């Protein structure tokens, strides 16, 4: 069960990386390839209930601005507010380390 939740989060984060591309697409279908069929099935079930993007925002993204530090930044001490990519990278690294 824990691995299913992690797989769903990773799929969502992957989709978030392409959010701007999806908004410009004429077709609104996305093929998700994963070896975890349970995670993909759970995502497909949500399709009829709500927008996937709204689900991502509700479940995985903080509603308030958070301060994150980009560890790959050559200028230490520079803080980025609400930088989604940095936040997602940190969260994915935490998932990987669990």
- Can you give the C-alpha Rg of the chain in angstroms? 15
* Host domain of residue 68: 63-98
Both 56 and 67 in a single domain?
no
CA distance readout (Å), 19 to 11, 16, 71, 72, 94: 12, 5, 24, 23, 22
Range of lowest pLDDT (16-20, 31-35, 54-58, 85-89): 85-89
Both 69 and 87 in a single domain?
yes
Both 41 and 73 in a single domain?
no
- Count of residues making up the chain: 98
The string of pLDDT tens digits covering residues 45-93 is: 665 445 555 655 555 555 444 444 445 555 444 444 334 445 555 555 5
Both 50 and 71 in a single domain?
no
* pLDDT of 75: 46
Both 43 and 8 in a single domain?
yes
Both 23 and 53 in a single domain?
yes
Q: Which residues contact 78 (CB under 8 A, 6 or more apart)?
A: 69, 70
Both 50 and 82 in a single domain?
no
Both 53 and 67 in a single domain?
no
Both 83 and 98 in a single domain?
yes
Count of structural domains within the chain: 2
Range of lowest pLDDT (27-31, 35-39, 73-77): 73-77
In this prediction, what percent of the chain has a pLDDT beyond 90?
0
Both 57 and 67 in a single domain?
no
The overall pTM is greater than 0.75? no
């Amino acid at each position: 069960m824990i691995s299913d939740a992690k797989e769903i989060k990773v799929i969502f984060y992957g989709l978030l990386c392409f959010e701007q591309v999806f908004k410009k697409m004429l077709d609104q279908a996305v093929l998700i390839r994963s070896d975890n069929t349970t995670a993909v099935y759970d995502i497909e079930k949500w399709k009829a209930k709500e927008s996937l993007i709204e689900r991502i925002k509700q479940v995985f993204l903080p509603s308030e601005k958070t301060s994150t530090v980009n560890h790959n930044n050559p200028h230490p001490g520079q803080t980025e507010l609400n930088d989604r990519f940095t936040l997602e990278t940190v969260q994915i690294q935490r998932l990987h380390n669990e």
